[in-house]
Every structure is written in C-alpha cells, then in structure tokens.
C-alpha cells in the first residue's frame, strides 16, 4: 500500500523543485539586468527590407546590453543601452554574397525603449532609396543619423557635405521632432535646437547619385515658432 502513494508524492516533489529552480533562474536574470550588469546580446538591432535585399545592423563579434540606469536626454531609466562593434551588412535577395557597407566607429552606442528590432526610416530621391539609421531614438537637442542608399540592386553608405563646406561627414544631425523631408531632388534636414536658440538651421541637400553624396545647397534659419507652424498647418 505504501508504494501506491510514495510515487505520486515523489512526482509532486520533483515538479515543485524544478518550478522553484526555474523561478530562481528567471529572477536572477531579471535582477542582473535591473542592476545594470551588461548581458551579451548578438542580435540584429535594425533592419531595412528592400525589394533588392536586406540591410541589417548587427554586431561583428561582440555586443552587450544593459538598462540605461538613470533618466537623461538619451532616454528613461528603464530604456536599454547596447554597445559593441557593429556593422551595416547588405544581404542581396538573389542569394549573392553579403557585403559589409560600413563598420561603425569605436564602440557604437544604441538606446531604445525595448529590445525590438528597429525598422530604418526610408525616403526616396529620384531613383535611389535612402534609409536612415538612428542609434539613439531620442535626444534633447539633435539625433545622429547614418544614411544608406539602394539603387539598381546595390547598397552603399551615403556621406553628407559638412555645414561649413569643408569635407564630408558620415552622419547628419537632425531635430528629434522633425523627420526627414524630400522636395524634388532635395533632402531637407531640420537641424538640432539648443536652449535659448533663437533660430533653427534647416539644411537643403542635393543628392548626387553619381558620387553617392549629399551636397549642401543652402541653409535657412527658421524661428522655432515658424518651424512649428510650417509642420503643423
């Protein structure tokens, strides 16, 4: 008679122990993230789907993620912060060999509210599709953006002429509340805004498809009030 009730009792005890161990493991993982300790994360962080292929932002060999830890211009305390040796990779849809378009400088820092993969913003100028990648989703003054182009099945990074007309930049700086705009063959970029700034620079870039660069045509200085009215008629 004892055998009949011993085995069910042992089964219940085993399930209880396994459930408790699982709960402890999960709690430990959550505590590690909350305490700010970095965790390895080799996931793709951003992607741009195109009829000719796919552009992905991913680590080359290592990357970690942790909570931001304190609220700032870059996000909330619970936002996630990634750092690592990231690169932009183009994967042709026809099964061709993947190619590295860019290796981001240093230990690229990304900040997002969640761990979801980000879709790159797309605009089209002439026969070229442009994709903008923002490593940080918000800022008090301006966002940094990397630009990539796709034309005739080929992908490539796009540089922009510096605001002072000297040299080329790997990134553009954009107001966090005003998205990129395309007017004809021009890319219009609203610059950042600092405290007490009376005017905001609005940059008009002409895209040169042969050189794959943005050339600065002109810079307008617009008051914050006029800019807000123009974008909210």
**What local confidence, expressed as pLDDT, does residue 230 receive?**
84
Kindly state the average pLDDT of the residues 26-32: 36
Quote the CA–CA distance of 100 and 87 in Å, as a whole number: 7
Quote the CA–CA distance of 124 and 149 in Å, as a whole number: 9
Query: Tens digit of pLDDT for each residue in 79-94?
Result: 999 999 999 999 999 8
Kindly state the average pLDDT of the residues 152-168: 91
Report yes or no: 48 and 131 within 8 Å, Cβ to Cβ.
Answer: yes
pTM of the full predicted structure?
A: 0.82
Return the SS3 of 217: strand
**What local confidence, expressed as pLDDT, does residue 37 receive?**
81
Quote the CA–CA distance of 168 and 163 in Å, as a whole number: 9
Beta partners for residue 172, in sequence order:
145
**What local confidence, expressed as pLDDT, does residue 33 receive?**
52
CA of residue 132 relative to chain centroid, distance: 9
**Among the listed ranges 7-11, 119-123, 124-128, 176-180, which one has the minimum average pLDDT value?**
7-11
Neighbours of 231 (CB within 10 A): 13
**94 HSE (CA, 13 A, CB side):** 5
CB burial string 86-118: b at 16+ within 10 A, e below: bbbbbbbeeeeeeeebbebeeebebbbeeeeeb
**What local confidence, expressed as pLDDT, does residue 19 receive?**
34
**What local confidence, expressed as pLDDT, does residue 18 receive?**
34
Neighbours of 149 (CB within 10 A): 20
Query: Tens digit of pLDDT for each residue in 172-198?
Result: 999 999 999 999 889 999 999 888 889
Return the SS3 of 22: helix
Neighbours of 63 (CB within 10 A): 22
Kindly state the average pLDDT of the residues 94-113: 93
Neighbours of 80 (CB within 10 A): 18
pLDDT band at 231 (very low <50, low <70, confident <90, very high): confident
Backbone angles phi, psi at 135, to 5 degrees: -60, -30
pLDDT band at 15 (very low <50, low <70, confident <90, very high): very low
Query: Tens digit of pLDDT for each residue in 136-148?
Result: 999 989 999 999 9
Report yes or no: 227 and 198 within 8 Å, Cβ to Cβ.
Answer: no
Residue with tokens 């161990």: 21
Quote the CA–CA distance of 116 and 213 in Å, as a whole number: 31
Share of the chain above pLDDT 90, in %: 71
């Amino acid at each position: 008679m004892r055998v009949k009730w011993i085995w069910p009792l042992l089964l219940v005890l085993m399930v209880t122990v396994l459930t408790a161990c699982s709960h402890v493991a999960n709690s430990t993982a959550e505590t590690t993230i909350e305490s700010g300790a970095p965790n390895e994360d080799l996931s793709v962080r951003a992607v741009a789907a195109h009829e000719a292929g796919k552009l992905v932002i991913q680590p080359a060999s290592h990357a970690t993620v942790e909570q931001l830890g304190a609220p700032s211009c870059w996000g909330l305390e619970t936002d996630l912060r990634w750092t690592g040796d990231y690169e932009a990779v183009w994967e042709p849809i026809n099964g061709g060999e993947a190619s590295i378009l860019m290796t981001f400088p240093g230990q690229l820092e990304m900040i997002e509210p969640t761990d979801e993969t980000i879709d790159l913003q797309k605009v089209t100028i002439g026969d070229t599709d442009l994709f903008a990648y923002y490593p940080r989703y918000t800022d008090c003054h301006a966002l940094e953006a990397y630009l990539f182009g796709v034309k005739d099945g080929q992908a490539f990074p796009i540089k922009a002429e510096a605001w002072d007309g000297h040299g080329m930049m790997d990134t553009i700086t954009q107001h966090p509340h005003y998205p990129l705009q395309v007017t004809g063959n021009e890319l219009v970029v609203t610059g950042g805004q600092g405290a007490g700034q009376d005017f905001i620079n609005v940059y008009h870039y002409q895209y040169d498809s042969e050189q794959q660069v943005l050339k600065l045509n002109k810079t307008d200085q617009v008051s914050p009030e006029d800019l807000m009215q123009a974008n909210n008629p």
